[in-house]
Amino acid sequence: MEAQNYRDGFKYSQNTYNVNAVRVAGKKGITSAIATQTVSEGGYTYSILTPTKAGIGAIGIHFFQGKVGALFYPAQETKPKVFASVTMSEFQEKVLEEFGFELTGQNVVDK
């Protein structure tokens, strides 16, 4: 992970958490890729997304299996803004359209 440049301002950390992921064997028998399980298989994956620009007090969370994104932006909304039936990419696009800033983060899978 790169060192943060704090001269540009405060930035939140990004994270992805994948519970019950399955390691997939490669052609040479090396396991490296992660396959996300479905809800019925017990999978649970979420990504914490942060603004690309420093100083914006917002955090987005995308739940992969549920296709739900939630934006926590107390300066604009008292409650989380929920976006239903969206992939992570669609969630990022909707936040940009509605709030005017980009979110970035680790995307395990995006179907």
| pLDDT tens per residue, range 27-43 | 555 444 455 667 677 67
Is residue 111 a part of any domain in this protein? no
The Cα–Cα gap between 110 and 107 comes to 7
Count CA atoms closer than 13 A to 55's CA, side-chain side. Answer: 4
Element (H, E) at 71: strand 68-72
User: Model confidence at 14, in pLDDT bands (50, 70, 90)?
Assistant: low
- Give a yes or no: residue 52 inside a domain: yes
**Is 5 a member of any domain?**
no
- Give the whole-angstrom CA distance, residue 61 versus residue 36: 17
**Would residue 3 count as lying in a domain?**
no
Output the pTM of the full model.
Answer: 0.70
Q: Is residue 2 part of a domain?
A: no
Residue 110 lies in a domain: no
Tell me whether residue 27 is in a domain.
Answer: yes
- Helices (H), ranges, 1-111: 88-99
Where in the sequence is the domain holding 99, given as residue range(s)?
A: 11-104
Domain count, the chain: 1
Q: How confident is the model at residue 16 (pLDDT cuts 50, 70, 90)?
A: low
Q: Is residue 93, in this structure, part of any structural domain at all?
A: yes
For 60-69, what is each residue's pLDDT tens digit? 999 888 899 9
Write out pLDDT tens, residues 73-95: 999 999 999 999 999 999 999 99
